[in-house]
Amino acid sequence: MPVKDFNGKQVQVDDEGYLVNQADWDEELAKAIAKEEGIEELTEAHWKVIHFMRKEYQEKGTAPSIRRLKNTGGIPVKELYNLFPGGPAKKAAKIAGLPKPQGCV
């Protein structure tokens, strides 16, 4: 398992860079991962998505899909793409310290 250094903090990640131990996550770490993903600053809108994703993950055991973020989280898909360019579900899950979302089979 690769170990990555975020601002001096050593954490285990999987081959694609998702956190292995959820317990390693804190907001400082999220900021560092976000930087790696090309997001310089996490705004309030970003945090809303991240906190919703973490809450969903704790309740359901899987990271929410884009559709669920829209329907239940009330976050328009367009906004998600603006906040997390490229692939919002995957990118936001990574920053939120969650495993890669399923739904891709």
What is the contact surface with other proteins in residues (CB under 8 A)? 65-68, 71-72, 77-78, 80-81, 85-87, 102-105
Q: Annotated catalytic, 37?
A: no
Measured CA to CA, the distance from residue 79 to residue 96 in angstroms comes to: 17
Nearest Cα residue to 20 out of 39, 38, 3, 37: 3
Q: Output the six-digit token pair for 89.
A: 């579900």
Q: Output the six-digit token pair for 33.
A: 């991962």
Shortest Å, Cβ 83 to other proteins: 11
- For other proteins, the closer CB: 47 or 62: 62
Q: Output the six-digit token pair for 41.
A: 């600053």
- For other proteins, the closer CB: 30 or 66: 66
Shortest Å, Cβ 61 to other proteins: 11
User: What residues are labeled active site?
Assistant: 104
